């Protein structure tokens, strides 16, 4: 898909208005915000005056809609809110004391959202972001200091931030430490993140949720693992994939059976049996970009986001 943006922009997230599935927004580095009215075929730059007054160059990390309400978070700390499906966006002031950079937001209900920082803080609001309540009682660093003797290898090297964080549809989170040497999970109601040893030799690149509620895990250098069963576990088995030695960076499920994996140098793989076996899709072979994220809005609409402003659209 052609995008009217500078080369060098990395695309970071995409979302559509539930009531108007042709109307969507695409985010990226260098203050990139694009809008589509035709389901993602064509995109136009969209400016938000309240995000342009300053000398900052925002990196828009995450966007989420529920009904007509939408939220965007970025770095340096910025929170944008729309009550009218993105016709107008307003900036919501944030406390300077928030620990970490906001990396993820999820619209949960009317005037309500859940926000995560890369230091593991999870905040919820139910009044359009005027007040935020912490859902986790302590920082990840504090949890690890307390549990460092409990046998999490690599916890002592922890630098205090997440590399990736992914939310399941039922509100559970999995996060990978910045060095990739262990991972953490959190479920609603838990007072703090639970650290887990990685059961694989190589460092973790990314982790996320399968459509059946189990976990997938990618290691640096291209290996793919699936957890046994559907809950949170430390038992994984390796799945053979032909990634030609390029790292796989993300996996997105279209349905319980069909999923796509994307990675460095235009690697694109597909499974039709829930991840047991993968075939390479040659559609992206000529694309000289790293593909960072696979996002399925629903089972008919999917996108792969890359660097240098590369966006691939799922055709079925």
Chain segment 209-258, per-residue pLDDT in tens? 999 999 999 998 888 999 998 888 889 999 988 766 678 999 999 999 99
How large is the average pLDDT for residues 98-116? 93
Provide the domain limits for residue 27.
1-135
Query: Would you state the pLDDT for residue 142?
Result: 81
Query: Would you state the pLDDT for residue 154?
Result: 63
Query: Would you state the pLDDT for residue 33?
Result: 93
Query: Would you state the pLDDT for residue 151?
Result: 67
Would you say residue 202 lies in a domain?
Answer: no
* Separation CA 129–CA 140 (nearest Å): 23
Would you say residue 26 lies in a domain?
Answer: yes
Would you say residue 47 lies in a domain?
Answer: yes
Give the total number of structural domains in the chain.
Answer: 1
CATH code for the domain of 27: 2.130.10.10
Higher pLDDT: 230 or 82? It is 82
Query: Would you state the pLDDT for residue 156?
Result: 62
Give the E-state strand segments of 83-222 in sequence order. 90-91, 102-109, 112-117, 122-125, 133-134, 162-167, 173-177, 182-186, 194-197, 204-209, 215-219
How large is the average pLDDT for residues 139-156? 71
How large is the average pLDDT for residues 266-294? 88
Q: Is the pTM of this model over 0.85?
A: yes
Query: Would you state the pLDDT for residue 49?
Result: 80
The closest alpha carbon to 94, from 69, 125, 119, 66, belongs to: 125
Would you say residue 117 lies in a domain?
Answer: yes
Would you say residue 73 lies in a domain?
Answer: yes
Residue where the block lists tokens 């055709």 = 315
Higher pLDDT: 75 or 145? It is 75
**139: alpha, beta or left, given left = phi > 0 and alpha = psi -120 to 50?**
beta
Would you say residue 208 lies in a domain?
Answer: no
Higher pLDDT: 243 or 89? It is 89
Would you say residue 57 lies in a domain?
Answer: yes
């Amino acid at each position: 898909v052609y995008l009217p943006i500078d080369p060098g922009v990395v695309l970071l997230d995409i979302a559509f208005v539930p009531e108007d599935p042709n109307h969507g927004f695409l985010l990226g580095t260098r203050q990139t915000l694009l809008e589509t009215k035709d389901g993602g075929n064509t995109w136009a730059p969209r400016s938000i005056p309240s995000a342009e007054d300053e000398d900052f160059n925002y990196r828009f990390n995450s966007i989420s809609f529920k009904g007509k309400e939408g939220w965007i978070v970025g770095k340096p700390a910025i929170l944008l809110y729309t009550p009218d499906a993105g016709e107008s966006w307003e900036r919501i002031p944030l406390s300077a004391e928030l620990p970490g950079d906001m990396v993820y937001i999820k619209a949960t209900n009317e005037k309500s959202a859940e926000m995560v920082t890369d230091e593991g803080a999870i905040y919820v609001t139910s009044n359009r972001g005027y007040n935020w309540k912490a859902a986790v009682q302590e920082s990840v660093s504090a949890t690890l200091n307390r549990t460092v003797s409990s046998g999490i290898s690599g916890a002592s090297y922890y630098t205090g931030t997440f590399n990736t964080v992914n939310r399941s549809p039922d509100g559970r989170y999995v996060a990978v430490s910045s060095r990739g040497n262990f991972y953490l999970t959190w479920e609603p109601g838990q007072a703090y993140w639970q650290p887990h040893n990685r059961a694989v030799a190589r460092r973790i690149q990314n982790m996320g949720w399968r459509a059946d509620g189990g976990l997938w895990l990618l290691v640096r250098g291209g290996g793919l693992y699936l957890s046994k069963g559907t809950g949170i576990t430390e038992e994984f088995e390796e799945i053979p994939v032909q990634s030609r030695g390029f790292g796989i960076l993300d996996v997105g499920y279209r349905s319980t059976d069909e999923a796509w994996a994307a990675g460095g140098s235009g690697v694109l793989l597909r499974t039709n049996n829930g991840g047991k076996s993968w075939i390479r899709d040659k559609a992206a072979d000529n694309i000289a970009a790293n593909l960072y994220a696979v996002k399925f809005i629903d089972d008919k609409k999917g996108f792969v986001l890359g660097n240098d402003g590369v966006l691939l659209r799922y055709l079925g």
